Structure 1
Amino acid sequence: MEQDWPMLTEKLPFWLEESRKIASAGKVASYIPELARAPQDALGICIAGRDGRQLTAGDDTLSFTLQSISKVFTLLLALMDRGESAVFSKVGMEPTGDNFNSMLKLELVEPGIPFNPLINAGAIVVSSLIRGATPAEKTDRILAFFRELAGDDTLAVNEAVFRSETATAHRNRSLAYFLKDNKVLEENDDVEKVLEVYFRHCAVEVNCRSLARMALVLSLGGKDPETGRELIPRRYVQIAKTFMVTCGMYNESGEFAIRVGVPAKSGVSGGILALVPGRCGVGIVGPALNRKGNSVAGMKLLETLSAAFDWSQF
């Protein structure tokens, strides 16, 4: 990565502005009304190197909520809390090919558990597995974990987005009650309390810098980039990275693997977390989305970077 830094420094602002031009081809998410406030043509990036350097361009200070990106980290926390056997008795390990909020295969495919932890149904189940006696206690633990990975003690839930998501989450509520009826959620799991945890971790607010730092920890196999201390067991990072490759970009993950070829996770706020194992972490925001729910300009920028620096893992 060190040898790439001079070219990155020179070219990144130009590549970003070239990618920004296609933002007009996408649309800002509006099914969560609060997200519709995001600027259509915004695009920002931070690249965090393993040596502590950060390179930024564009709207890198723009705040946005994690949305589905948070699912990677709640999966990691649930694995640390419960272990693989407990988690994967409740969620599967396969991509679906369906929309992220689909319930189709829950009913059609035995044993009726979500196909993977990065679709909404899977992430709702994972939220139920986080240790804590109350939604507030679970959320506090999630926030503490996110803050440690981001190196930012100010990360917090955007309450306006949380309220907006709670008020409009009819499909997610349906998914959760179906999971309860299917006994994937336990008898003592209160559906509304599980959903509160889920909506809150989706509404944690970040910027490109904090997101890149979270990605860098995964790039380094779960180790703190400053101290070298293990924050996440390496085995669980391997699991998370595999899910990111196979399921991280919704049902555009296969095309993304071919065009970019790095573990990544997107969110409908326009965020993308990506990492080049052992080299760097990347945080991007570009609120204009394509029909699959991924940032149009952010995807283009990542494709450009991957081609220029041979980032593809394949």
Structure 2
Amino acid sequence: MMKSNEDVDTISLARFLEALYGSGLRATDPRLVEFSARLGNLTEDMVDRITFKNLVEPNIAIISRAFRRKFIIPDFTAFASRLDDIYNQCVNVTDGNVASYIPELAKADPNCWGYAMCTIDGQRHSLGNCTIPFTMQSCSKPLTYAIALEHLGADGVHQYVGQEPSGRIFNALALDIDNKPHNPMVNAGAILICSLLQNLVHFEMSFEQKLAYIMQHVQKAAGGEFLGYNDDVFLSEKCTGFRNYALAYLMKEQKCFPEMADVEEVLSLYFSTCCIESHCESMSVMAATLANGGICPITDEKVFSSATVRDVLSLMHSCGMYDYSGQFAFKVGLPAKSGVSGSLMLVIPNVMGLALWSPPIDRHGNSCRCLKFCELLLQEYNFHPYEHMGHATIKKRDPRMYSHHLQESTVLHLLFYAAAGDIGALRRHYLAGFDMSLGDYDGRTALHLAAAEGHLDCVKFLVEHCRVPCDPSDRWGHSPLDEAKGFQHPEVEQYLSTHLKNG
């Protein structure tokens, strides 16, 4: 990136930008707004140090993190490329049919297929039909539920709606044993949530203001990116949504709604939230906001509290995939929400969010291509929360930032356990896949410390089971055998001498 030009060091902006955007950042990232504005004023590729300093200075924190590989996915290019491979494997999935019970949805192109991802550090990538708008349908339900939680709290919301999977189709005419909707992720529960938003949250607002208020929250979760509204789908749903009308009047009969609720207005708000438009790019940021504890990764704005996100993800995990939720939790194990438009929002907590879209859906209402993508992703990467990599028979990839500072921390723990003679802790680290031969900044390894303290059982474990080198040298040229001699541990000295002699 640096090039000597007589006595002046110059920098190639083209090469700099290639490396910067290769980290997953985008030129449109709000955290790079000053950088992008100054970059637009430059006409030459090669710039001197002072110009370069002035260019990056306003956003140096995020740029520095990118070049020091301090993002959650350090090798982002390789990870994005592998996800593209998984995407391409799903192109040939031809199962399912476009939803037809809502006439406007039946017009969708079954060949459309796109995905986008956004990490908790705002690293982004997408492929396919990722900017074609679609109505969010049930993918809006986690967000309306989150808004209700923010205003009313979990106790306030769940005196009206349950928290259990229904085990039934998403629009089933059924309530739970307490005559409440089973959860906020099925139609009955989402209709009930809309009644709370309409009557208990800023009740003085008009219908139009309330919808705008909800959309404002959704757009904050999307980092200000694309959000629209499809009036044609709204009218189509309102004219044909007889099952939702039946659900609403069943709940009115059972006195589920707040006293002042008007059923027709509640249903209009519910249909409207389903008809909010997004695309994969913007929905991936929404998913990443949930993955990031409620803070939007690309704006750093707190949209939801961490307690709200915890409750939302809990119900997405158990109820988010209609009556396929149990099988999805078993196969994939991650919080997700699908919509009959063919959309799917997948959240990998503390890592990233994914948005996928392909209109053909199965009998449960889930996109067939999206399901296949999620299953293939979890077959290759160890994102499942219950997967223990140390004992796994099939080794999976982990693209996360087990980077330098974490490696240093691990080495210090290894040295401490070796010095203390804690063979159990050493064994746990070995089973978790850590490199037991790593040394600290002085080159001292776990074997050095175990030998220096005379812990023969730890020395044998490191040599025989972990197969670490027997003769590593620290910065002073001392080997583990030297440590055993110097600290007068004859049993360790004899064992290491014999092992070295025998090769």
In which range does the TM-score fall when normalised by the shorter chain?
over 0.9
User: Among 151, 160, 168, which residue is 1:90 paired with?
Assistant: 160
Q: Partner letter of residue 89 of structure 2?
A: E
Alignment match of 2:337 (pick from 258, 265, 280) = 265
SS at match of 1:21: coil
Distance 1:110 1:254 in 2: 20
Determine the structure 1 residue equivalent to 2:58.
Answer: none
- The equivalences for 1:96-115 within 5 A come to 96-104=166-174, 106=175, 109-115=176-182
The correspondence of residues 6-155 of structure 1 with structure 2, limited to 5 A, is 6-22=77-93, 24-104=94-174, 106=175, 109-130=176-197, 131=201, 132=203, 133-152=205-224, 154-155=226-227
Is 1:254 aligned with 2:326?
Answer: yes
**Displaced runs of 4+ in structure 1, greater than 6 A?**
none
Change in CA separation of 1:6 and 1:208 when aligned onto 2, cut-off 3 Å: same
* Structure 2 SS opposite 1:161: helix
Q: Which residue of 237, 249, 261 maps to 1:189?
A: 261
Contact preservation (8 Å) 2:222, 2:296: no
Deviation at 1:15, TM superposition (A): 1.9
Q: Does the 8 Å contact 1:13/1:58 carry over to 2?
A: no
1:177 equivalent among 241, 249, 252 = 249
Q: 1:3 to 1:183 in 2, by over 3 A?
A: same
- 8 A Cα contact 1:20 1:42, kept in partner: no
Q: Which has the greater radius of gyration?
A: 2
Q: CA deviation at 1:12?
A: 2.7
Preserved CA contact (<8 Å) 1:93 1:243: yes
Contact 1:123 1:198 in 2 (8 A): yes
Once the 2 structures are TM-superposed, how far is the Cα of residue 152 of structure 1 from its aligned partner? 2.8
Letter in 1 for 2:132: L
Following superposition, the deviation at residue 153 of structure 1 comes to: 5.6
CA displacement, residues 96-140 of structure 1 (integer Å, 9 cap, x when unaligned) = 100110113x2xx43211011111000000001112433222211
**Which of 238, 251, 268 lines up with 1:166 in the alignment?**
238
- The AA in structure 1 aligned to 2:229 is V
Specify which of 299, 310, 314 is matched with residue 238 of structure 1.
310
The RMSD of aligned alpha carbons is 1.4
Aligned residues of 2:164 and 2:183 also touching (Cα < 8 A): yes
Question: Is the Cα contact below 8 Å between 1:12 and 1:57 reproduced in 2?
Answer: no
Q: Is the Cα–Cα contact under 8 Å of residues 264 and 272 in structure 1 kept in the other structure?
A: yes
Shift of 1:32: 0.5
Secondary structure at 1:199 match in 2: helix
Query: What is aligned with 1:212?
Result: 284
List runs of 5+ in structure 1 lacking aligned partners: none
Q: Which amino acid aligns with 2:193?
A: V
Indicate if the aligned counterparts of 1:209 and 1:283 stay in contact, CA closer than 8 A.
yes
Amino acid aligned to 1:162: F
Separation in structure 2 between the aligned mates of residue 198 and residue 4 of structure 1, nearest angstrom: 42
- Matched residue SS, 2:304: coil
Letter in 2 for 1:76: A
State the secondary structure of the residue aligned to 1:281: strand
Any idea what SS the aligned residue of 2:92 has? Answer: helix
SS in 2 for 1:272: strand
Structure of higher RCO (CA pairs closer than 8 Å, 6+ residues apart): 1
- Aligned mate of 2:358, from 286, 289, 301: 286
Q: Which residue of 2 aligns with 1:2?
A: 73
Percent identity over the alignment is: 37
Q: Secondary structure at the match of 2:104?
A: helix
Would the alpha carbon gap of residues 101 and 4 (structure 1) be closer, same or farther in structure 2, given more than 3 Å must change? farther
1:176 partner letter: A
- Whether contact under 8 Å (1:158, 1:203) holds in the other structure is yes
Cα pair 2:223 2:298 within 8 Å, conserved: no
Structure 1 residues 260-269 or 78-87, which shifts more?
Answer: 78-87
**Cα pair distance change 1:2/1:154, threshold 3 Å:** closer
Alignment map for 1:290-305 (pairs within 5 Å) = 290-305=362-377
Could you list the runs of 5+ residues in structure 2 that have no partner in the other structure?
A: 1-71, 387-503
- Mapped partners of 1:229, 1:17: distance in 2: 34
